[in-house]
Structure formats: structure tokens, C-alpha cells
């Protein structure tokens, strides 16, 4: 499941020089499991805007799960390059599909834990997958500290496995910076002439970090996007053997960044 070498992961966790922070905030996971819903999407895909709207609708619901819209780059050569796309998103999608025993990655594709072919139009199926995830005790405890450093964010995180079974599942930790309230005027491809609006767009994805003992601690640095729009972070842990979610932490950055509140 790991998409990068151990050396790459260590490089992402390197220490940062101490500097005074403008603002800081902290988050910690709770006693119940927070599911992660992943939408793999692309601005060049004419079936994706409806799924994008569905994700935005889900984000407005009370007690919503952690939501991530991962724009893939394999549509970029078919008429319209998606400015939010990243190669790592497609690599993660493909690895998750293979791990689940499936063969095809597609857009729009919704994943919840080990389930990689969730039918997002089927409200009952989505609700059942979320209920199942929430009913399962969390396998890890997560904590995240965020400080503003110049034009970026300095992050410190920890993941603590709750039992030896979790450690034996070879857990992975991922960190995503997302942004709401984004829009693009599409001038070519299948969605030519449309203005597409997006929420929970992943602007940076870091990981995976693997921990072999009970506790994993690390640091990362992420630049803040130039575009305006509310930002948030999702720190999430999953089994590298099954893809099942272990725990997630969703931290809106309104308390951390000047100007974020009320957007």
C-alpha cells in the first residue's frame, strides 16, 4: 500500500527551525471513530460535477464525516487540465482499488474505509457504510498541532495505536489540507462552458507514514494556497493490509489562521 520509500517519508518528517508562530491550535480524535469519505474526481469528467455537489451537500450536514475531494490528473490530457489535480491522488486511488481486490479506478469514485466502490447516489448504502464505520471502535488516537509560519503551516502530529492488533495491521498515517469555496470556469473538454464549484478540495496530501510500534510522531510543513477559501486539515490512519479506517481527525483552521473565521 505504501506509495513512497521510507526515505521520502522521513524527509517529510524532518524537523523545522524554531520560529515564533502567529497563531496555533490543536485537535485530538475522540472516543468514537470518524469515517473518511474520499471522492476521486476531475474537472474534465462530465459525470463528476454531480458528485462534487453531493460532497458539498454532505459537508453541510450535521455530524458529517471527514470529507476529501481528490482530483486526479489522468483526465488532464483529454481537453482540460484540472488545476487541483495531483499525481499522488491517482496513485492512492489505484493502490486502494488493488488492495480491495478490484481492478478498475474511475471517476467519480467514492471510497469509505475498505469499501472502494460506494454508490454515492444510493443514500441507503452511504448511510450504512457510515454507520458501520462509526460503530467500530477506533483503532488509534490522533493528535495534531498547527502553527502559522510565514506563508505556510508547521504541523506536529502523533498517532497512538490502541492495541497490538492495530500495530500488526501495519497502520499508515496520512495528512490532507483541504479547501472549500473554490470555483473554475471550464473552457474545454467535457464540461466546457460550465463554472464548477468545489468544496473539501485536497490542496496538499502528505504520507503515508508507517508506524511499527505503538506511537508514531512526526512533523510536516505545508504552504497555504494563495486562493481564498476556508481551509482545514484531516489526519487519518488506516490499515495497510485491508484499507479499513482506524481513526480520523478533522480540524477546520478558522481557529488557527487570521481571516479564516466567518468565510
Nearest to 238 by CA among 135, 142, 143, 154: 142
Per DSSP, the three-state class of 154 is strand
pLDDT of residue 40: 98
pLDDT of residue 14: 31
Supply angle C-alpha 218, 253, 89, rounded to 5. 60
pLDDT of residue 259: 65
pLDDT of residue 254: 84
Question: Residues 194, 252: contact at Cβ < 8 Å?
Answer: no
pLDDT of residue 22: 44
90 sits in which H/E element:
helix 87-99
Q: In whole angstroms, give the CA distance from residue 138 to residue 57.
A: 26
Based on the number of CB atoms within 10 Å of its own CB, is 142 exposed (0-12), middle (13-18) or buried (19 or more)? buried
The set of cell numbers assigned to 18 is 524554531
pLDDT of residue 250: 97
In angstroms, the Cα distances linking 249 to 66, 144, 236 are: 8, 8, 6
This prediction's pTM: 0.89
10-residue stretch averages of pLDDT, the chain, 263 residues long: 36 34 77 97 97 97 96 94 97 97 96 97 98 97 93 94 93 97 96 97 96 92 93 97 97 79 44
Amino acid at each position: 500500500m505504501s506509495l513512497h520509500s521510507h526515505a521520502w517519508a522521513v524527509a517529510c518528517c524532518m524537523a523545522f527551525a524554531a520560529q515564533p508562530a502567529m497563531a496555533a491550535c490543536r485537535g485530538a480524535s475522540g472516543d468514537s471513530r470518524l469515517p473518511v469519505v474520499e471522492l476521486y474526481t476531475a474537472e474534465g469528467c462530465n459525470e463528476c460535477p454531480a458528485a462534487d455537489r453531493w460532497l458539498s451537500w454532505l459537508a453541510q450536514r450535521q455530524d458529517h464525516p471527514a470529507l476529501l475531494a481528490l482530483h486526479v490528473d489522468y483526465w488532464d490530457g483529454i481537453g482540460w487540465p484540472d488545476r487541483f489535480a495531483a499525481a499522488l491522488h491517482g496513485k492512492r486511488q489505484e493502490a486502494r482499488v488493488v488492495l480491495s481486490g478490484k481492478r478498475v479506478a474511475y471517476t467519480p469514485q467514492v471510497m469509505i474505509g475498505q469499501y472502494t466502490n460506494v454508490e454515492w447516489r444510493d443514500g441507503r448504502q452511504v448511510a450504512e457504510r457510515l454507520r458501520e464505520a462509526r460503530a467500530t471502535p477506533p483503532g488509534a488516537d490522533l493528535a495534531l498541532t498547527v502553527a502559522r509560519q510565514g506563508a505556510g503551516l508547521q504541523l506536529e502530529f502523533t498517532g497512538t495505536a490502541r492495541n497490538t492488533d492495530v500495530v500488526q495491521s501495519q497502520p499508515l498515517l496520512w495528512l490532507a489540507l483541504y479547501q472549500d469555496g473554490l470555483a473554475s470556469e471550464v473552457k474545454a473538454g467535457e464540461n466546457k462552458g460550465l463554472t464548477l464549484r468545489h468544496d473539501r478540495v485536497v490542496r496538499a496530501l502528505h504520507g503515508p507514514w508507517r508506524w511499527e510500534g505503538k506511537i508514531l510522531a512526526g512533523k510536516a510543513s505545508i504552504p497555504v494556497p494563495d486562493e481564498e477559501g476556508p481551509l482545514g486539515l484531516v489526519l487519518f490512519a488506516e490499515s495497510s493490509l485491508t484499507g479499513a479506517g482506524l481513526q480520523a481527525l478533522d480540524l477546520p483552521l478558522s481557529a488557527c489562521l487570521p481571516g479564516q473565521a466567518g468565510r
